[in-house]
Structure 1
Amino acid sequence: MLHRRQTLSLLMTSAVALIAALTAGSTSALAQAAPASSAPVRVGEINSYTGLPAFTIPYRQGWQLAVEEINAKGGVLGGRKLEVVSRDDAGKPDDAVRVAQELLSSEKVDLLAGTYFSHIGLAVADFAARNKVPFVAAEPLTDAITWSKGNRYSFRLRPSTYMQAAMLVEEAAKLPAKRWATVAPNYEYGQSAVTWFKQLLKEKRPDVEFVAEQWPAQGKLEAGPTVQALAAANPEAIFNVTFGADLAKLVREGEGRGLFKNRRVVSLLTGEPEYLEPMKDEAPEGWIVTGYPWEQIDTPEHKAFRDAYSARFKESPRQGSVVGYATLKAIAAALDKAGSTEPDKLVAAFRGLSLSSPFGPITFRASDHQATMGAYVGVTTVKDGRGTMKDWRYADGAAYLPGDEAVRALRPAE
C-alpha cells in the first residue's frame, strides 16, 4: 500500500511539473511572439477629410510622409513603429467625439491628433481632458484651445487667430485707412479672428473705426448680398477671414462689382496655396495675407521637406502638408523625450518640447501649450497664370504671443 501511495505521489508531482513547464513555455512563446515593447505606438487621428479635402488631403500626405521617415529611422521608444489610425469627423463635433471614443476604447490608441475646424478642435480637446489622453490639435486656430478653455492634455501646433491677427495688424496699422469693414465665417474661428484683429488694430491705431461686419455661414456665403452690404458701408479697407469656396466667391463677386478698387484688403490664410492657386489668374492682386509661398522658401529645413514631399507624392506641398508633417514629427519627438506612452509623462514631455520643422525650429510653450510655429506674411499677386505671394517675410510665432504672466490670466488653472 505504501509503495502504491509513493508511486501515485510521484506521478502527481511529475504531472504538476509538466503542466507548469508547458504553461511557462507557452507564456514564453507568446511573449517572444508579441512582446509589449515591440507593439506599435498608435496615434488616433481625426479630421474633416470629406468636408475640406483641399486642406486635409495634403495634410494627410504630410503626416504619411512623416510616419514613413520616422519608421525608416527606427521608429520611436527604442524601436517601436509609429502607427496612425485615422477617422473622418464629417465636419461635425458630435461625430468627432464619437470617433475619438472609438479610437480610445476599440483601437487602443495612445494619444489623439488632428482636427481642422475650431469648434471640432474644442470638442476633441474637451474629450481629451475628460479622458486624460494627450491631444495635439494640428490645425484649429481658435485661441480658446490654449487659453480660455485650455487644459492639461491639449496642445496646438499652428499659430492661432491671435497670432496671425497680430501679424496682419502689424501691416494693417501702416495703411492710411481709418474706416474698416470685416467679413468672416460665423463660427468660433471667424469670430475669434475678427475680435482680435479689431482689438489689436485699435491698440496700434486708436483713430480707426469699424463701420460694417458681415457674418456668412461657413461654406454658404451669398456673394452678391455680402459684397453689396460691404460696399454700402464705404470702408477704406477690409479685413477678410473667409477661405475655400467662400473666398473664391467673394473675390469673383467683389472684383466684378468693384468692391476692391482703391481699397486695401487684409486677409487671413488667403496666401495659402490651397485657397489661392485654385483661383488661377482670378486670384486677387495686392492683398496683405498670411500664407505659404512654398516655391520661394529656400531654407535647408524647408528644401529638404519640399524635395521629399514632391518625390513621394509627385506634387508640390500645401500648407496642410506642412501641418500634417510637423504634427507627427512633434508626436515622435515627445514620445522619445517621455520615454513612454504614459499620458502624464507625454504631457510633461510636450511642455517645452523643441524640434525642427519645415519652417525652422519651434517650441511648445509650457505656459499655454501653444507652439511657436510662425506664418509667412506678404502680398498676393498673379504670376504665370496662378496666384502666389510676393514681398513676403517669415513671422516667427514666438514674437506674436503674450508672455507667461498674461497667459496665466487667460488660461484656467490646472
Structure 2
Amino acid sequence: MSYTPTRSDFDQYMTPNYSPQQVIPVRGEGSRLWDQKGKEYIDFAGGIAVNSLGHCHPVLVNALKEQGDKLWHLSNIYTNEPALKLAKKLVERTFADKVYLCSSGGEANEAALKLARRYAVDHFGEKKDKIISFSQSFHGRTLFTVSVGGQPKYSQGFGPVPGGIMHAEYNDLDSVRALMGDDTCAIMVEPLQGEGGILPAKPEFLKGLRELCDQHNALLVFDEVQTGVGRCGTLYAYERYGVTPDILTSAKSLGGGFPIGAMLATDNVAKSLAFGTHGSTYGGNALGSAVALAALEFIDTPEVLEGIEKRHELFREQLETINRKHGVFQEIRGMGLLIGAQMTPQYEGRAKDILPLAIEEGLMALVAGPNVLRMAPSLVIPESDIVEGMARLERAIEKFVAQA
C-alpha cells in the first residue's frame, strides 16, 4: 500500500519536542530543495550549519556509494580504514595529536568534558573538578552538556543536574577571573556563540582564557561543532584567532549531512582517555568516516576556503541593502558563512516570525535565539543563489513589516 506522509503525521506519531515548518522537503540538489508539491526553495539554513556542501554533492554521494558497497559498521571492537584516514587527516591539519570519533556534536562535547575531568583527576586529584562555561552558550543536549551550556531553559525540569559547573559572561574576561581558581579543571567556550546569537569572541578574550588556563593548570576546550570545517573561513576558527586549545570538538559540517562527530586533543591530554574510559557504538563507523573524509578533503582547499570569505561579503552587502530599505536589523555579524542579523528593539524577539514568511517566498532560514535571524548555507553556495535568496528574503521582510 502506497503511503505519502503529511505534516499532520508528525503530530500524530512523533514526540512533540520539535515544531517543524509545514512543508516537507523531499529532494535536494546543491543549495536548492523541493517539497512534496514540487515547490522550490533556496536553502540558507544548511541543516543548521551541517550541509557544508549543500544537498547531494557528487563528492559526498560518490564516497557514500563506494563505501556502502564495501563496509558500513564494525563497532569499536575493530578499527577500519576510513576512520584511520579521517583521524590522520584531522591530526595533520590541526594542533591535535589524537582523535576520538563519535556520532554527533553533543557526543563530542560529552567526551571532551569527561576527558577534562579525567585529566584533572589523573594529574591533580579529584578536588580539581570545576568547569567554567558561558551564559547563552550551547554545547549539546545530553544532561552533562546541557548543564554546561549557559541557557537554563534547556536543563529545567531534568534535575538534579551535574554539579561543579559555573557560568561567566561571554567576552568578559573579568567575569572569568572571578570564578577561576586552582580547582578549575577546564574552560569550555565557542569561538563564536551559535545558538547564543551568532556572537564572535573578541581576540583578546580568547587569548585571556588561554593565559588563565595556563596559570591555573586548567584545560581550554573549544567547542567548534558549529564553527569548524570551513564554516568561519578557515578550517577551524581557532586558526583565525591564533589561540590553540587543548581539546577541540567538531561535528556538523564535518559530515556534510552524515551524522559524525570528533573530539581532538593533544597527546598529553588524550592519554587520560585510557582503555575502557569512554566509547561510542556507532562512533568512527566506516560509512560515516568515508563521507567525512571526502567532505574534509574537498573543503580544505584554497578555492573553497577563500570563496567562503567572498560569499560572506556578498551576504553582508545584501543584508545591509535590505536593512536600508526596511530598518529591521540592529546589527549584522558573524564570520564566514555563519551570519546573524539581530532585530531592532522595535522587533525585539520576533526573528522567528520571519521564517514562515520566508518559506512562503521559497527561502529556508534559521534563528539563533528569539532575536537573531541566522544563515548557515552551503560553503559552496552559488553567488546567484545568494542574490536570489536575498530577493526572496526581502519579500518576506516586506510582509513582516506590513504585518507588524
Q: Same fold (TM over 0.5)?
A: no
Greater RCO structure (CA 8 Å; 6+ sep)? 2
Which structure has the highest helix share of the two? 1
Q: Point out the structure with max Rg over C-alpha.
A: 1
What TM-score does the superposition give when structure 2 sets the normalisation length? 0.29
> Normalising to structure 1: TM-score of the pair?
0.28
